[in-house]
Amino acid sequence: DVQLVESGGDRVQPGGSLKLSCAASGFTFRTFAMNWVRQAPGGGLEWVSSLSGGGGTTYYADSVKGRFTISRDNSQNTLYLQMNSLRVEDTAVYYCARVESRDLLPGTRSDYWGQGTLVTVSS
């Protein structure tokens, strides 16, 4: 069975850093692109970042560009999100989600999601 398990969420002060991890199992990790999607408390879904299966192509939402870095270790079947210069508005549950293809083409979809990890940015 496909499993995605996020970790690394915590409470951090504004301006701080945090690194999220997403451990994948049950599929050939390197052959799938991956997404990070977040959800603020009581809010809707917001796409954060995408990474191709080989790691060569990345995309970011404008709200996190220059502050967040998506990466992956295909030997460890793990996706990461390095978050720097955190802001109060980054407070959210962060989900990793598998994209159903290796490449980030139009028409892709997130077919499996992790349970999410909570990031709270507060002084």
Give 10 or 59: the residue with its C-beta nearer to another protein: 59
Give the C-alpha distances (Å, rounded to integers) separating 102 from 1, 62, 105.
19, 23, 9
* Binding footprint of another protein, residue count (CB under 8 A): 23
Look up residue 14 and give its two tokens.
């504004």
Which of 1, 62, 66, 75 is close enough to bind another protein by CB under 8 A?
62
Give 16 or 58: the residue with its C-beta nearer to another protein: 58
Residue 31 phi, psi (nearest 5): -95, 10
Asked if residue 5 binds another protein (CB under 8 A), the reply is no
Give 12 or 99: the residue with its C-beta nearer to another protein: 99
Asked if residue 56 binds another protein (CB under 8 A), the reply is no
